[in-house]
Amino acid sequence: MDMLKDKVIMVTGASSGIGAAAARLFAAEGAAVVMTARRGHLLDRLVKEIADTGGRSAAVPGDITRPGDVARVVTAAVEQYGRLDGAFNNAGWATAGTPVHQTADEVFDQIIDINLRGVWNCLKHQIPAMLAGGGGSIVNTASVAGVIATGANASYIAAKHAVIGLTRAAADEYAPRGIRVNSLVVGSTLTELMREVLADTPALEAAFTTRSLQKRMAEPVEVAQAAAWLCSDRSSFVTGTAMPVDGGWTAA
Supply the pLDDT for residue 93. 84
Q: Does the residue 197 lie in any domain? A: no
Q: Does the residue 206 lie in any domain? A: no
Read off the pLDDT of residues 72-99 as tens digits, 9 standing for 90 and up.
Answer: 999 999 999 999 999 999 999 887 778 8
pLDDT band at 196; cut points 50, 70, 90: confident
pLDDT band at 203; cut points 50, 70, 90: confident
Tell me if 171 sits within 8 A of 181, measured CB to CB.
yes
Backbone torsions φ then ψ of 64, nearest 5 degrees: -65, -15
Active-site position among 26, 88, 156, 249:
156
Instruction: Check whether 131 has a pLDDT greater than 80.
Output: yes
Read off the pLDDT of residues 35-76 as tens digits, 9 standing for 90 and up.
Answer: 999 999 999 999 999 999 999 999 999 999 999 999 999 999
Q: Does the residue 238 lie in any domain? A: yes
CATH number of the domain that residue 126 is part of: 3.40.50.720
Q: What share of the chain in percent tops pLDDT 90? A: 83
Q: Which domain holds residue 149?
A: 8-188+219-247
Q: Does the residue 194 lie in any domain? A: no
Q: Does the residue 82 lie in any domain? A: yes
| Cβ neighbourhood burial of 230 (10 Å; 0-12, 13-18, 19+) | buried
Q: Does the residue 203 lie in any domain? A: no
Q: Does the residue 2 lie in any domain? A: no
156 labelled catalytic:
yes
pLDDT band at 244; cut points 50, 70, 90: very high
pLDDT band at 186; cut points 50, 70, 90: very high
Helix axes 154-174, 105-112, angle to 10 degrees: 30
Residue count (the chain): 252
Instruction: State pTM to two decimals.
Output: 0.96
According to DSSP, residue 189 is labeled B
Q: Does the residue 252 lie in any domain? A: no
Specify the number of domains making up the chain.
1
